[in-house]
Chains A and B, each alone.
Chain A
Amino acid sequence: MPRHRLVVPDTVEYLSILDHQGNLDQELEPHLGDEQLIELYRAMLLGRRFDERMLDLQRQGRIGTFPPIKGQEAAQMGAIINLRPSDWFVPSFREVAAELWRGRSPESVLLYYNGFNEGTLLPAGQRDLPMAVPVGSQILHAVGLGRAAGYRGTDEVVLCFFGDGATSEGDFHEGLNFAAVYRTPVIFVCQNNQWAISTPLKKQTATANLALKALAYGMPGIQVDGNDVLAVYSATREAVERARNGGGPTLIECITYRIMMHTTADDPKRYRTEEEVAVWQERDPLTRFAAYLQRRGTLDADRRDQLEAEVLAQIQAAVERAEQQMAELGEPLALFEHLYADLPPNLRAQREELRTTLAAADKEVRHG
């Protein structure tokens, strides 16, 4: 009986265009104009500064727990800028920079993280799913959207984000399998930020990397430097084009790092060293991109300061609007809205029950 090596024709590549200092591999430089590059830089900066402001607000008790994105701006923005408005965006829960790019208002993010479900409101007609908290579960929705796009005969694609921890979930495996079997136009972007709360990648998987999992399902896989926005852009662009042309799904593993905590309720000092964080801080996607833009002559110090001021003003205005909205929203009767298309009788009764409780509480405040 024979026992021999099977020929496995597929492979995964690693792609990096800007090194840690922002030096460019000229042969791989994507064709992006100055305006596009500035827009991209601005979006990454907005993501960064908004994240920092959210952390301040959370520490002041003005919003609730949230998952910071710091360090992952390139992985998000390099991928998302490839989408057309008619394409679908399926986020996990750490894609605020990409959500803002797609048109979600920063005040809606603040509302959401302060516990108002009104903050989940997406712009009308937007082909974005709300963030998904159960890890990896959104992967299957992306596959369904891609299947529906195929059924409708459109050339829309679906961009789906998740983290390294999600690759251990059954839904990741089921999703990639279904996507490949049905050849759905889905781009799976794994933001491998090295830690799933306190679990490091080496305890998450026994495979050499996450990109090669694509081979098991019969789709292309590629690993990119996730802190290099040009590499993420190029890899995603290639995958988007393939998907749009009927070539099916792709798995992209972005090697990046979560600089901050998993959520504001987490203390990363319990499980990782400051030295490790410092190494990744030196690989910051934003400073690296800025260095490239500066060398290219696209961004000088004045423009940089101007963008910084613009972004901070935008955030300040959003915080003020959000706090005003929160003060106005008040009563929680909205909890009963949108549970079903038509409110069933028992829920109507429960809404009245809450209304009565609220009225009694008001009375207490006034008279008590």
Chain B
Amino acid sequence: MAKMTMVQALNLALKQEMAADDRVVLLGEDVGPDGGVFRVTDGLIDAFGSERVMDTPLAESAIVGMSIGMAIYGLRPVCEIQFSGFSYQAFHQLENHAARMRWRTQGRLSVPLVMRAPYGGGVRALEHHSESREAYWAHTPGLKVVIPSGPRNARALLVSAIRDPDPVIFYEAKALYRAFREEVPEAEETMPLGRPQLVREGRDLTMIAYGALVRTALEAAEQLKGLDGIETEVIDLLTLAPLDQELLAASLRKTGRAVVVHEAPRSFGPGAEIVCRLLEEAFYYLEAPPVRVAGFDVHPPYFSRERWYMPDVRRIVEAARRTCSG
């Protein structure tokens, strides 16, 4: 198996899906000869031509709105928004139309589009380039929100997202794009949407994370073991909506303690929903109040102060020790 970065793995997913299904088309700003600003679509215009890899004018609402029309017609558009911070200009198309079309037509029309967008901090980017606002999408009935945490699951989840009959917001942590390589099989691989994964077993504490922070959580788990002998179970959510709490609750019943980690602002963020579900499902198993380690309720700081905003190993370890000490 070849070792790939997440960018290469995503490229492989797109390339194979396009080869297998001529309904799959790509569109977005600079996705053609330039290969996208992060090069995820690199070389695809050479392989599939400009009819299938469409460089669009600069207009996010139109990119998504046009994708809705193409999806209704039966194509499988995968549109790229260069940075999630610019996806808000397409918000109303997703909220008002993509998320509702199946519902408002009693299942006659559906919108099987994927909106890919790099999200989150960690690469010292410009203003408006580091937001982690996935809660906006997860709050919208009818949308699915998928966030991979590494090359291999990014490839498999993107294939599944493209084949999914519903609109999928596919958030790619740009901190992960080239952070590390992983073995990715050439042969087709898919992963079910809406199914979290246990990535580390433990008996003392449940840690729930997604995207770039799964790796941070795993590092924290390692430190906790070394420092305090705390055995941490780490769950990678992979899909934020629809959110499946079964695995999460089962883990909490075992450990009695939970820490939820995300980059999104803390208030009304995904952590609030996850903790609430844990309380509903496994309240009587709790040994201590669940804790959120999240971004502060401020806009992501400009790059030199960015590291004080994003949850890091130190903050996660501190929170975990606090919740385990009671």
Contacts and interface: CB of A to CB of B under 8 A. Distances in A.
A140 B66 contact: yes
Interface string B87-117: 0010011001100011111111110000000
Contact of B66 (A118, A120, A144, A346): A144
A56 B73 CA distance: 37
> Chain B: interface residue count, which band?
35 or more
A130 B102 CA distance: 10
Contacts of B165: 340-341
Given A124-B108, A178-B62, A344-B242, A145 B102 contact: no
Nearest to B69: A144
B74 interface: yes
Contacts of B103: 117, 337-339
A259 interface: no
A120 B106 contact: yes
Interface stretch (B53-61, B120-128, B198-206): B53-61
A340 B77 CA distance: 18
A111 to B, nearest CB: 11
Contacts of B244: 344-346
A312 interface: no
Contact of A174 (B54, B62, B101): B62
Contacts of B243: 346
A123 B73 CA distance: 16
B104 A117 contact: yes
B46 interface: no
B258 interface: no
A88 B165 CA distance: 21
A149 B62 contact: no
A140 B106 contact: no
A174 B105 contact: no
28 contacts: A118-B106, A122-B109, A130-B104, A130-B109, A137-B65, A137-B93, A138-B97, A139-B65, A140-B65, A141-B68, A141-B72, A141-B97, A144-B69, A144-B71, A144-B77, A145-B70, A148-B74, A149-B73, A151-B25, A151-B70, A178-B57, A178-B62, A338-B105, A338-B107, A340-B102, A340-B144, A340-B165, A344-B194
Interface of A: 88, 117-118, 120-122, 124, 126, 129-130, 132-134, 137-149, 151-152, 170-171, 174-175, 177-178, 181-182, 337-341, 344-347
Interface of B: 25, 51-52, 54, 56-57, 59, 61-62, 64-75, 77, 89, 92-93, 96-97, 101-110, 141-142, 144, 164-166, 194, 242-246
The 4 A-B pairs of least Cβ separation, nearest first, read A144-B69, A140-B65, A344-B242, A174-B62
